[in-house]
Amino acid sequence: MSTFWKHPATVGIAYPLFVAAVSAIASFYIPSLAPMARMIVTLIHFLATDVTLPRWVFWIWLVATVGAIGFVAYMWWDVKRDEASTIPTRYESDILFGLRWRWRITAFGWDDFTAFCPSCDNQLTMNDFQPLITGGSTYVCDSCGRPGRMDEHFIQETAKRAEKEAQRRYRTGGWKDAQKRIEQAK
Ligand SMILES: [Zn+2]
């Protein structure tokens, strides 16, 4: 054990590389970790000298290093997870104006707004809607029998409103509750 830790290759190459990597990562992600990283560096330099240290110093150093690496890894994972949750690349369905909508977000914009029954996910087309003289229209899902209504006569008009509303939710963060709305509407 002690010969390994004092071997010239360990002292000359492995320690400096390892220490540089750990302290670089630590200082980059968490500035407050920099002092701790410097402490570890000092400790390792100390260990690398020919001074014979009690074994417990090594164990404390090992625990501190593992702890520091674990902490940095956790912070990194936490930051990445936060980033991921703010990029709604998969926001392509929501409940809008009483219907479930699906669409695609492409490089050219938001496309193919299609309406579905909120209960059974049956696709609703123009023919399913009965325009009302008083305004709006009603429908009865031909798959599960669920009735519903729209404020517009034509599904294309509601699709335009749905697109605008989906984009508004995308900007304001309301998209995050889309899955909850989909579950509640069933
Ligand atoms: Zn249905």
CA of 129 to the centre of ligand 1 (A): 13
Q: What is the pLDDT of residues 147-162, one digit of tens each?
A: 999 999 999 999 999 9
- What is the pTM assigned to this prediction? 0.54
What are the DSSP calls for 31-87, one per residue?
GGGHHHHHHHHHHHHHHHSS----HHHHHHHHHHHHHHHHHHHHHHHHHHHHHHHT-
CA of 152 to the centre of ligand 1 (A): 20
Q: Walk across the sheet containing 137-140 and list its strands.
A: 129-131, 137-140, 147-150
What distance in Å separates the CA atoms of residue 127 and residue 125, rounded to the nearest whole number?
5
Q: What is the pLDDT of residues 106-154, one digit of tens each?
A: 888 899 999 999 999 999 999 999 999 999 999 999 999 999 999 999 9
Q: So what's the pLDDT on residue 8?
A: 65
CA of 118 to the centre of ligand 1 (A): 7
CA of 145 to the centre of ligand 1 (A): 6
CA of 186 to the centre of ligand 1 (A): 9
CA of 127 to the centre of ligand 1 (A): 15
CA of 140 to the centre of ligand 1 (A): 8
Q: What is the pLDDT of residues 9-49, one digit of tens each?
A: 666 667 667 777 777 777 777 766 777 777 777 777 776 66
* Coil/strand/helix, residue 170: helix
CA of 168 to the centre of ligand 1 (A): 27
CA of 149 to the centre of ligand 1 (A): 13
Reading the block at residue 22, the tokens are: 């750990």
82-88 long-range contacts, Cβ below 8 Å, gap at least 24?
A: 85/176, 88/170, 88/175, 88/176
Domain boundaries, the chain: 2-85, 93-184
CA of 132 to the centre of ligand 1 (A): 21
CA of 170 to the centre of ligand 1 (A): 27
CA of 172 to the centre of ligand 1 (A): 30
SS3 content of the chain, % helix, strand, coil (to 5): 60, 15, 25
